[in-house]
Amino acid sequence: MSQRKQTLGEFIIENQASFKYTSGELSRLINSIRLAAKVVNHEVNKAGLVDILGAAGDTNVQGEDQQKLDVYANTKFIQTMTKRNIVCGIASEEEDDFITINSQDENHQNKYVVLIDPLDGSSNIDVNVSVGTIFSIYRRVTPVGTPVTIEDFLQKGNHQVAAGYIIYGTSTMLVYTTGHGVNGFTLNPAIGSFYLSHPDMKFPEDGRIYSVNEGNYIHFPKGIKDYIKYCQMEEGDRPYTSRYIGSLVSDFHRNMIKGGIYMYPKSSKASNGKLRLLYECNPMAFLAEQANGKASDGFNRILDIQPTELHQRVPFICGSKNMVEKAEEFMRAAE
Ligand code: AHG
Ligand code: MN
Ligand code: MN
């Protein structure tokens, strides 16, 4: 008889002792993300049924169309974490500035800040293609009990204590790390529990999938163009297969399971690419490294970059170690 799979709740309790600081605060925080994920999942799943599709008629701080589900997911995650009073600050891709959380209790001891992309791949909602949520967690650097400052959010990615994503796909999964490997949990929608379905996830060292928006090819730097040509060359196990969903979460998830590389390079139109260092690249880079993969801006490790602003963008190359190293080689050679 097959053994019953561990639930996420059980996993969190069992692994709490391995966290650096064991007050249970981080466990409660991950629990609240789990709860918000279920609520957002419910909404994403019925997106085709109700009048929730389409633009909300608003644009976010970066001038992009906000979808109704972007707004909904943003509100739900912020509400859940605020109500439970377990974080001292939140920064979101959908908010102009960070949010300070004032506890009712003036001696509040909350230590963590959360940075979040509440709905990733939002252009895919209207066409029933997988979207996601990405989160990143740090310990504050300013004194506990005082209001958070920008310093608490502008930390290097290598200071993250936890990061993860939820993928609202053919099944819904929550995948996260606290710096002890990456574990994936699948939601059983009938019961409403996440079960450990993908323990200790690892990127294969090599892969045969490359994911990039090739429509922008003409605007890419020479190193990326050369690497794409290398992927397409007939030699050894090449040409590789091209797969691009347009939801970072989904492209990353597939590449981690099958082996592959994701690239959103800079271009002659966008000098730092499109993806946001704090809400997208850092959490994905932490997960990638915890899963034996690699994440780079083409020259430097993503997790070593000192952020200078909340909505900063950065070129992003991430995936199977040998593939990322090969792309970096082409970047250096084209300098
Ligand atoms: P978001 O929906 O949070 O704005 O992120 C979309 C991101 C990423 O998920 C995806 O890989 C990329 O943008 C797609 O961009 P292009 O349409 O330019 O390829
Ligand atoms: Mn995104
Ligand atoms: Mn988003």
Residue 16 has a pLDDT of 78
194/192 Cα distance (integer angstroms): 7
Q: What residue ranges do the domains of the chain occupy?
A: 8-198, 209-334
Across the range 109-137, mean pLDDT stands at 94
Which range among 23-37, 71-85, 102-116, 265-279 shows the weakest confidence by mean pLDDT? 102-116
Residue 15 has a pLDDT of 85
CA dihedral 199, 200, 201, 206 (to 10 degrees): -140
pTM score: 0.94
Residue 97 has a pLDDT of 98
- Looking at 3.30.540.10, 3.30.70.20, 3.10.20.30, 3.40.50.970, the CATH number of the domain 8-198 comes to 3.30.540.10
* Cβ atoms of 59 and 65 closer than 8 Å: yes
Equal fold, 8-198 vs 209-334 = no
Question: How far, in Å, is the centroid of ligand 2 from the Cα of 130?
Answer: 12
- Single-letter residue type at 75: T
- Name the residue of 213, 218, 314 to mutate for ligand 1: max ligand atoms within 8 A of Cβ: 213
Confidence of residue 281 (pLDDT cuts 50, 70, 90): very high
CA dihedral 220, 326, 156, 26 (to 10 degrees): 110
- Counting ligands in written order, which one lies closest to the CA of residue 247? 1
Identify the top-confidence range among 38-42, 121-125, 143-147, 286-290. Answer: 286-290
Beta bridge partners of 195: 7, 186
The residues, any chain, with a CB within 8 Å of residue 218's CB and separated by 6 or more, are: none
- Counting ligands in written order, which one lies closest to the CA of residue 214? 1
Residue 266 has a pLDDT of 97
Atom of ligand 1 nearest to the CA of 120: 3
- The better pLDDT of the pair 2, 35 is held by 35
Across the range 215-234, mean pLDDT stands at 98
Beta bridge partners of 198: 184
57/156 Cα distance (integer angstroms): 34
Question: How far, in Å, is the centroid of ligand 2 from the Cα of 116?
Answer: 9
Q: Is 70 exposed, middle or buried (0-12, 13-18, 19+ CB in 10 A)?
A: buried
Residue nearest to atom 6 of ligand 1 (CA): 121
Residue 4 has a pLDDT of 84
69/52 Cα distance (integer angstroms): 7
Confidence of residue 59 (pLDDT cuts 50, 70, 90): low
Residue 214 has a pLDDT of 97
Confidence of residue 22 (pLDDT cuts 50, 70, 90): low
Identify the top-confidence range among 38-52, 80-94, 103-117, 154-168. Answer: 154-168
Residue nearest to atom 16 of ligand 1 (CA): 246
Give the count of beta carbons closer than 10 Å to the beta carbon of residue 160: 23
Please provide the distance, in angstroms rounded to a whole number, between the alpha carbons at the two ends of the chain: 58
pLDDT higher than 80, residue 146: yes
Question: How far, in Å, is the centroid of ligand 1 from the Cα of 223?
Answer: 22
- Name the residue of 71, 274, 279 to mutate for ligand 1: max ligand atoms within 8 A of Cβ: 274
Q: Closest Cα partner for 170 from 65, 45, 25, 311?
A: 45
Confidence of residue 134 (pLDDT cuts 50, 70, 90): very high
What DSSP letter does each residue of 266-319 carry, written as one string? --SS-TT-SSBIIIIIHHHHHHHHHTT-EEESSSSBGGG----STT-B--EEEE
Atom of ligand 1 nearest to the CA of 122: 2
- Name the residue of 275, 278, 314 to mutate for ligand 1: max ligand atoms within 8 A of Cβ: 275
Confidence of residue 120 (pLDDT cuts 50, 70, 90): very high
pLDDT higher than 60, residue 51: no
Q: Which residues surround ligand 2, an ion (CB under 5 A)?
A: 117, 120
The third-level CATH classification (topology) of the domain covering 209-334 is D-Maltodextrin-Binding Protein; domain 2 (3.40.190)
Q: Rounded to whole angstroms, what are the CA distances from 119 to 66, 125, 187, 253?
A: 10, 10, 18, 15
Residue 47 has a pLDDT of 73
Residue 326 has a pLDDT of 98
Residue nearest to atom 18 of ligand 1 (CA): 213
Question: How far, in Å, is the centroid of ligand 1 from the Cα of 274?
Answer: 7
- Residues in contact with ligand 1 (CB, 6 Å cut-off): 93, 117, 120-122, 213, 246-248, 274
Residue 274 has a pLDDT of 98
Alpha helices (H) in the chain, listed in sequence order: 8-15, 25-45, 68-83, 150-153, 222-232, 248-258, 282-290, 321-333
pLDDT higher than 70, residue 103: no
Across the range 75-89, mean pLDDT stands at 90
- Name the residue of 95, 123, 136 to mutate for ligand 1: max ligand atoms within 8 A of Cβ: 123
Residue nearest to atom 2 of ligand 1 (CA): 121
Confidence of residue 55 (pLDDT cuts 50, 70, 90): low
pLDDT higher than 90, residue 288: yes
Residue 119 has a pLDDT of 96
pLDDT higher than 80, residue 49: no
- The better pLDDT of the pair 11, 103 is held by 11
Strands 182-188 and 209-211: unpaired
**What share of the chain has pLDDT > 70, as a percent?**
90
Residue 144 per-residue DSSP state: T
